[in-house]
Structure 1
Amino acid sequence: DPASLAIIIDYFDTRRADTLKEAFNLLESEAKMNELMNLQKKQLDEMAKNNAAAQQIVQQNERMAKLNKQIAKSSKWTNWWLFWK
């Protein structure tokens, strides 16, 4: 394809490859490296999403704990009031 051909020409211009075989091998290894880097980026993005979701769960748990304390406090007063009524 034209993009690969342009890259191979650049390899020769920058003297990264001396033969067509070297250029093809370099092109293939860089393509594999880019594929691995893209996969790693996707994994990091997924980890960041999971971390954000975990943070939200922690915050929700903290809010629930606070509400549970308020409910417990309110129920003490309600029970006391019902007992003395």
Structure 2
Amino acid sequence: PGGRIFICELHPSRQYQGRQANFQHGPDTVAIPAFTHHISEFIDTAARHGLKLQTLREWWHQTDQNKAPRLVSFLFEK
């Protein structure tokens, strides 16, 4: 049977720049542990498992239009 998988992840270009996802918890900034996954890694791994890329999209915050994307998303289908 077929199916779909949607993945949305911190864009690797942000990680290449040394940035990391975080959030505020009271007065503290909490960094979320992360690993850099290259865009090709997502696509190649999906293909090895019989999934085809349907959509690849990069996401910016409205104030970041001239900066690296914040997020990247993939929609794969089998």
**Shorter-chain TM-score above 0.5:** no
TM-score normalised by the chain length of structure 1: 0.21
Q: Which has the higher contact order (CA 8 A, sep 6+)?
A: 2
The structure whose Rg is larger is 1
Identify the structure with the greater helix proportion.
Answer: 1
TM-score normalised by the chain length of structure 2: 0.22
Identify the structure with the greater strand proportion.
Answer: 2
